[in-house]
Amino acid sequence: MDEKKPLVALLTNNDDDVYCFRKELIEGIIAAGYDMLISCPDGPKFELMKDIPYQYDNPDIDRRGTNVVADFKLMMHYRKLFKEKKPAVVLTYTAKPGVYGSLAAKSLGIPYINNVTGLGSVLNKTGLMRNFIMNLFKLAYSKAACIMFQNDTNMKLAKDLGWVQGDYKLIPGSGVALERYPVQDYPEGGNGVDGEMVVFNYIGRVLHDKGVDDYIEAAKRIKKNYPNTEFNMLGFIEPTESHYEEDLRVLGEQGIVNYRGSQKDVKPFIARAHAIIHPSIYGEGMSNVLLENAASGRFLITTDNPGCRETVNNDETGFIYMGGNVDEMVKAVERFLAMNNEDRKQRGLKGRKKMMAEFSREVVVKAYLEEIRRLA
């Protein structure tokens, strides 16, 4: 009779996170001799993982809701799941699975590893809500077997707040799957006035905190003086910010910003673009969008916020400007438009080399397997 393999449970809040950022980790864990349990709300990306053997749990998660009863039910769901499945170790990602999955594992004495994917949205809270959330994170993380941090700023902050009481590691975000994001041929491009169209993308959830209002305002200003430019927006509109649906419809009719919706595969849009603009106005863990675009050989224009600035060698592989400052964003775009197209291409290729040297997903998989082998 075959010996039963140790089970590793992975908790997150959306299928995009599983397929786009954890797939190689899941495959690596299975290849190392473990069984896998994925707890995540159902979504279309699971269709792309049919060839991977794993157990599945479909929790009810209100990602951005503040209903205490619903969140308590989520914690009890995890507790029941762990009692039934008996995982040897639990991996948590994103806010609510990170908090309530940790508390459930903690209550049962199951070792767990947290991944801090960014504290920006937490720090943007004010008053009692901020204090409540900060204490909740501290309670959840305090007994973690290991905490994986995606940038140095978040790691220092968590240590200062007393969240870190066990092992911790600094990893390069989720890493980038270099084979999944090969260098794309660079398109011809003019200067925004003469020559071929110059294309910019925003890729990410459509949220104010992600800087979409700054992106829209910058597009309005640039289009006045540089008519041969195209500004695209790709991503899911959060139900809490549904006003963007009408805003983007009008902007599309005006020829200012083209909303391309939520795409299963963004690579064809990266291929058409000359640069990615990532205007996040709060700290992220590590921007996967920037990693993927740099791996594809695209120039990066982003903010000086944690999780963004680490992906760029400023003035070499991209431009960094002060987050929330539209004037600086416009200047960065104008500097890019003033560059010749071959220079843009060569700087994008330097960005690819940076990804190969510093942000390979293999580094992340190795870090996790070291901890799992220690614990399971």
Please list, in sequence order, all residues whose beta carbon lies within 8 angstroms of the beta carbon of residue 216, skipping any fewer than 6 positions away: 247, 251, 256, 257
Answer yes or no: do 70 and 114 share one domain.
Answer: yes
The domain that holds 14 is classified in CATH as: 3.40.50.2000
Q: Which domain holds residue 41?
A: 7-175+360-375
Answer yes or no: do 333 and 364 share one domain.
Answer: no
Residue 170 tokens, joined: 């600094």
Domain membership flag for residue 186: no
Per-residue pLDDT of 302-358, as tens digits, reads 999 999 999 999 999 999 999 999 999 999 999 999 999 999 999 999 999 999 999
- What pLDDT score was predicted for residue 2? 58
Q: Is 160 a residue whose pLDDT tops 70?
A: yes
Mean pLDDT of 162-173: 92
Per-residue pLDDT of 110-127, as tens digits, reads 999 999 976 655 555 667
Mean pLDDT of 364-370: 96
Place of tokens 């707040």: 161
CA torsion sign for 280, 124, 135, 99 is negative
Answer yes or no: do 11 and 157 share one domain.
Answer: yes
Answer yes or no: do 91 and 149 share one domain.
Answer: yes
pLDDT more than 70, % of the chain: 97
The Cα-based distances of 275 to 91, 112, 248, 298, 348 in angstroms read: 34, 39, 21, 5, 9
Q: Is 100 a residue whose pLDDT tops 60?
A: yes
Answer yes or no: do 145 and 207 share one domain.
Answer: no
Residue 212 tokens, joined: 């979409």
Answer yes or no: do 347 and 313 share one domain.
Answer: yes
Answer yes or no: do 124 and 241 share one domain.
Answer: no
Answer yes or no: do 344 and 300 share one domain.
Answer: yes
Answer yes or no: do 334 and 366 share one domain.
Answer: no
Residues 307/286, Cβ–Cβ less than 8 Å: yes
Domain membership flag for residue 184: no
